[in-house]
C-alpha cells in the first residue's frame, strides 16, 4: 500500500500535521508499503523556500521518513494543464470571469458544507460572450458539477461507503486565473500519478472527496481508498492553524520536548 503526506510549505508544521503524517506513515508500515512526501505548493505567493527544509527536518525528527525525492507541484503544472484540457474536451468545465468581490456580493447564493456555493453565473455564457470577455480577462475554469456521474461512491475506513453527491460543493474552481490549476485538480492528478492506494487526511476534507471522485472518473484514474481522520485541536478545542506557533513542531523541539512526548500528545 502506498500512502502520502502532502503539506503546504506556507508555514511550520504543527501537531495537526504531525498527526496526519503519522497516520499515513503507520498505514504504509502496517502493509509493508511505501510512504511518500509531496509538497502542495501551487499557492506560490504564500510559499517560502525555508519551509520545505524545515518540514523535512521536523518529520525526520519525529522518526518519519519517506521514499524518493519529494514532489513539488510547481514542477508539475504541465500535467495539470493536460488534465484540464481533457476535461474541456469532455465539456465538463466552463470559463468563469467573475471576480472574488462579485462572487462575495451575491446574497442569494446556495449554501454548501463549506459556505456559499458559486451560483453558476458564467455557466450559460454564449460563445460570443466568452470571446468578448476573454479579450480583457483571463478566466478561471470551473467544474460543471451538474454533469457529474450520480452512481459514484467511495470507501472511507472510518465513515464507510459514501455515495457521491455531485453538486455538494457546487461548481468548484479547477484552474485558477493566476496558476492554471487548483487544489482539487492537482491533488487528484498527483495521487493517480504516484499510485496512492490509501489517501489519509483530515475529516475537514471529506466533502472535497465528492469532487475528487468525479474527477477520477472523468480522467480514467483508479479509485483509491480513503481515511478521513479526526482533527487535532488546541486547548480551546479549536482547529490548529499555522499561526499557532506554540503548537508548531519546531516550537516544541526548541522547548526541549522529545519526539515521543510530541507523538504521545496527539
Give the pLDDT confidence of 204-238 residue by residue, as tens digits. 999 999 999 999 999 999 999 999 999 987 655 56
Give the whole-angstrom CA distance, residue 112 versus residue 28.
33
Residues of the chain with CATH 3.40.50.620: 1-75+233-266, 76-190
pLDDT at 204: 94
pLDDT at 219: 98
Q: Is the distance from CB of 194 to CB of 38 less than 8 angstroms?
A: yes
pLDDT at 234: 66
Superfamily for 1-75+233-266? Answer: HUPs (3.40.50.620)
In CATH, the architecture of 76-190 is: 3-Layer(aba) Sandwich (3.40)
Contacts of 30 (CB under 8 A, 6+ apart): 1
pLDDT at 240: 65
Residue-wise pLDDT tens digits, 95-104: 999 988 887 7
pLDDT at 46: 92
Residue ranges of alpha helices (H) inside 62-153 are: 77-89, 100-104, 127-134
pLDDT at 112: 73
Which residues in the chain land under pLDDT 70? 107-109, 114, 234-246
Q: Is the distance from CB of 67 to CB of 35 less than 8 angstroms?
A: yes
Amino acid at each position: 500500500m502506498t500512502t502520502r503526506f502532502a503539506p503546504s510549505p506556507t508555514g511550520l508544521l504543527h501537531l495537526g500535521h504531525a498527526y496526519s503524517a503519522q497516520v499515513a506513515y503507520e498505514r504504509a508500515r502496517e502493509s509493508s508499503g511505501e510512504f511518500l512526501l509531496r509538497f502542495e505548493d501551487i499557492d506560490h505567493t504564500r510559499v517560502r523556500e525555508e519551509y520545505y527544509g524545515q518540514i523535512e527536518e521536523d518529520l525526520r525528527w519525529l522518526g518519519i521518513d519517506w521514499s524518493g525525492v519529494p514532489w513539488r507541484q510547481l514542477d508539475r503544472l504541465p500535467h495539470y494543464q493536460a488534465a484540464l484540457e481533457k476535461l474541456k474536451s469532455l465539456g465538463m468545465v466552463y470559463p468563469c470571469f467573475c471576480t472574488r468581490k462579485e462572487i462575495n456580493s451575491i446574497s442569494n447564493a446556495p449554501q454548501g458544507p463549506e459556505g456559499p456555493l458559486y451560483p453558476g453565473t458564467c455557466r450559460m455564457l454564449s460563445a460570443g460572450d466568452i470571446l468578448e470577455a476573454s479579450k480583457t480577462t483571463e478566466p478561471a475554469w470551473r467544474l460543471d458539477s451538474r454533469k457529474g456521474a450520480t452512481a459514484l461512491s467511495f470507501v472511507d475506513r472510518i465513515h464507510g461507503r459514501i455515495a457521491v453527491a455531485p453538486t455538494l460543493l457546487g461548481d468548484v474552481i479547477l484552474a485558477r486565473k493566476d496558476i492554471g490549476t487548483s487544489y482539487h485538480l492537482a491533488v487528484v492528478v498527483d495521487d493517480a500519478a504516484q499510485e496512492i492506494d490509501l489517501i489519509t487526511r483530515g475529516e475537514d476534507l471529506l466533502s472535497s472527496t465528492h469532487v475528487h471522485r468525479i474527477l477520477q472518473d472523468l480522467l480514467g484514474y483508479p479509485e483509491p481508498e480513503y481515511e478521513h481522520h479526526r482533527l487535532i485541536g488546541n486547548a480551546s478545542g479549536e482547529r490548529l492553524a499555522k499561526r499557532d506557533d506554540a503548537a508548531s513542531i519546531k516550537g516544541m523541539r526548541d522547548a526541549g520536548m522529545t519526539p515521543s512526548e510530541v507523538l504521545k500528545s496527539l
